[in-house]
Chain A
Amino acid sequence: MFDSLSDRLQETFDGLRGKGRLTEDDISKAMREIRMALLEADVNYRVVKEFVASCKERCLEADVLGSLTPAQNVVMVVLDQLTELLGSTESRLVLAQNRTPNVIMLVGLQGSGKTTAAAKLAFLLKSQGKNPLLAACDTHRPAAADQLETLGGEIGVRVFRGDGKDAVQVAKGAVKEAVARLNDVVIVDTAGRLQIDEEMMAEAVDIKGAVRPDQILMVVDAMTGQDIVNVVSEFARRVDFDGVIMSKLDGDARGGGALSVREVTGKPIKFVSMGEKPSSLEVFHPDRMAKRILGMGDVYGIIEQAQKVAGEQEAADAERMLAQGFTMNDYLAQLQQIRKMGGLKKMIGMLPGGERMMRQAGGAAGLDDRQLTDVEAIIRSMSREERLKPKTINGQRRRRIAAGSGHSVQEVNQVLRQWGEMNKMMGKMRQMMGGGSRKSLRQMRGMMRNMGMGDLGAPGGRLPF
Chain B
Amino acid sequence: MGLADRLRRGLSRSREALSEIFYMGGEVDEGFWEDLEDRLVMADMGGEVALQVADDLREEAARANLRTAPQLRRALVERLARCFPEAERDPFDDVPSCVLFVGINGAGKTTTVGKLAGVAASRRQSCLIGGADTFRAAAIEQLQVWGQRAGVEVVTRERGADPASVCFDVCERAERDGAELVLIDTAGRLHTSSDLMRELAKVVNVTRRRSGLPVSVVLVVDATTGQNGLNQSREFNDALELDGIILTKLDGTAKGGIAVRIAHDLSLPIFRVGVGETIDDLQPFDAHAFCQALVGGDEGR
Contact = CB atoms under 8 A, between A and B. Distances in A.
Given A142-B142, A143-B142, A147-B138, A253 B255 contact: no
Given A110-B106, A196-B252, A231-B252, A226 B226 contact: yes
A221 B229 CA distance: 12
B47 interface: yes
Interface stretch (A71-79, A244-252, A304-312, A392-400): A244-252
B190 A231 contact: no
Given A111-B107, A142-B141, A40 B252 contact: no
How many A residues are at the interface, by size bracket?
35 or more
Nearest to B145: A142
A221 B43 contact: no
B112 to A, nearest CB: 11
Contact of A226 (B105, B136, B255): B255
B13 A248 contact: no
Contact of A227 (B107, B142, B255): B255
A227 B224 contact: yes
A146 B114 CA distance: 18
Contact of A146 (B38, B137, B225, B231): B137
Contact of A251 (B47, B191, B222, B253): B191
B contact face: mostly helix, strand, loop, or mixed: loop
A109 B253 CA distance: 12
A449 interface: no
B125 interface: no
Contacts of B190: 248, 250-251
Contacts of A251: 104, 190-192, 228, 232
A146 B137 CA distance: 7
A390 interface: no
Contacts of B229: 223, 225
Contacts of B232: 223, 251
Interface in A149-172: 149-151, 154
A6 interface: no
B92 to A, nearest CB: 21
Nearest to B231: A252
Interface string A62-106: 000000000000000000000000000000000000000000000
Interface string A331-364: 0000000000001011000000000000000000
10 interchain residue pairs of minimum CB distance:
A225-B226, A111-B106, A42-B226, A150-B137, A142-B145, A147-B138, A146-B138, A143-B141, A143-B142, A253-B228
23 contacts: A36-B48, A40-B227, A109-B252, A110-B108, A111-B108, A146-B137, A147-B138, A149-B138, A223-B222, A225-B224, A226-B41, A226-B226, A226-B255, A227-B254, A227-B255, A230-B13, A230-B253, A231-B253, A248-B106, A252-B228, A253-B226, A253-B231, A343-B194
